[in-house]
Amino acid sequence: MQCLRQVWRMTKLWTVASTSRSLKVTNLHRSMNTLQQKQQVMAEAKPWGLISEVGDEGFQESVIDIIEKHFHIICLKEFFKNPMLHGPKIQALLMWNCSPAAEPSLLSCLPSLKVVANGGVGIDHLDVPYLNSLGVKVANTPGVVSDATADMAMALLLASARMVVEGHLISVDPKTTHVPQSLLGVEVTGSTLGIIGMGNIGYKVAQRSKGFDMRILYHNRNRRSVEDEQAVGASYCEKLDDLLKESDFVVVVVNLTPDTTGLISHRELSLMKPTATLVNVSRGLVVDQDALAKALKSGTIRAAALDVTHPEPLPRDHPLLSLPNVLITPHIGTNTNATIRKMVQLMVDNALAGVKGLPLPSEVKPK
């Protein structure tokens, strides 16, 4: 009897367990179906974004996953095969390195466009009031670009001062038979640095220069707070001319605006020391390149190191390309994997917010 009761109890337990297991399985299937449906609905609900090409002509391959997570994307080449078909579904224009250009001819094919999200802080290529007048918001990626760009400014400054590229070329030249003693650079430690433009990037340059015991001067539209100045030991130069006259290295980090176009021209270069080096990580048009080529040729200044030129790249016969005292890199100030991923993430966050009609994390407002 005892034994029978035990068998009965175990059978009951097993039945309950298996019933609840099969209920669980049914529920699991049900919730999996719902999840799949949800995912499908979400995938279908993804908005469409127009991007420039992938690869050297536009976005790095390695960041496309960030965009595709939230957008159906179409590249320019594909788009232009049938703009009338694709145009109406595009809600966001995701730009990398100023491309695709938000020109009226393109905008007129994009009647549903809500937002232009630029990957980069400089938006000199965008007509913000015009876009806003079409009901299109504009955003950029400030903050996330600052460290990498400041690092690049320091890399150029150091490489130019210590003739790193010249040294490399001599070292790998099969004709080299001895270490040339003529390769003499200029001292960075203890020198005077003039920073033109003391926004996020300029300030990061100052922080880095402090480690080189540099005397730091800066010129900016607005003076920074005393606390900011003291933290990096920077002195404000109200007059740009004073900064130019006193600096051994001049680093240009301003936005390109009508006020800063051609900011460094013949007159400014002639104020600089003949031993001075000009570093530009802002935009090519801030420096008058013809004036710069002349100043470098005549020895008005010692050298220039440029991550930006106008245009990019320079025509192959441009005078700057044949000068021995100029170092040029192809606008790679933000080119690190970590930084471009952060830029693309912020760009996508801006684009999504724009599509949903929410406040953009970093909207550019017209001045």
Ligand X SMILES: O=C(O)C(=O)CO
Assess whether 283 carries a catalytic annotation: yes
Assess whether 223 carries a catalytic annotation: no
Cα–Cα distance for residue pair 224/226, rounded to 1 Å? 7
Residue closer to ligand X, measured from CB, 141 or 300? 141
Please select the residue that binds ligand X; options are 110, 333, 350, 362, rule is CB under 6 A.
333
**32 burial via Cβ count (<10 Å: 0-12, 13-18, 19+):** exposed
User: Per CB under 6 A, does 362 bind ligand X?
Assistant: no
Alpha carbon 107 to chain centroid distance?
24
Report the DSSP beta bridge partners of residue 217.
194, 235
Please select the residue that binds ligand X; options are 146, 220, 334, 350, rule is CB under 6 A.
334
User: Per CB under 6 A, does 122 bind ligand X?
Assistant: yes
Q: How far is the CB of 76 from ligand X (least distance, A)?
A: 19
Please select the residue that binds ligand X; options are 139, 145, 150, 347, rule is CB under 6 A.
145
Residue closer to ligand X, measured from CB, 192 or 350? 350
Assess whether 331 carries a catalytic annotation: yes
Q: What is the three-class DSSP state of 279?
A: strand
Closest residue (Cβ) to ligand X? 122
Cα–Cα distance for residue pair 16/362, rounded to 1 Å? 57
Please select the residue that binds ligand X; options are 100, 120, 197, 202, rule is CB under 6 A.
120
Cβ-based neighbours of 148, under 8 Å, separated by 6 or more: 333, 334, 335, 336, 338, 339
DSSP at 54: B
The sign of the CA dihedral 345, 350, 355, 356 is positive
The single residue of 53, 229, 312, 363 carrying the catalytic annotation is 312
Q: Are 141 and 119 in contact (CB under 8 A)?
A: yes
Q: Residue ranges of the alpha helices (H) in the chain?
A: 2-45, 64-68, 76-81, 83-86, 104-107, 128-133, 146-161, 164-172, 200-210, 226-232, 240-246, 266-271, 289-298, 337-356
Stretch that binds ligand X, among 107-115, 117-125, 155-163, 313-321 (CB under 6 A): 117-125
Q: How far is the CB of 142 from ligand X (least distance, A)?
A: 8
User: Per CB under 6 A, does 128 bind ligand X?
Assistant: no
Residue closer to ligand X, measured from CB, 87 or 333? 333
Residue closer to ligand X, measured from CB, 121 or 138? 121
Please select the residue that binds ligand X; options are 50, 66, 121, 271, rule is CB under 6 A.
121
Residue closer to ligand X, measured from CB, 191 or 289? 289
Stretch that binds ligand X, among 157-165, 170-178, 327-335, 358-366 (CB under 6 A): 327-335
Task: Give the catalytic positions in this structure.
Answer: 283, 312, 331
**Residues interacting with ligand X, by CB under 6 A?**
120-122, 145, 331, 333-334
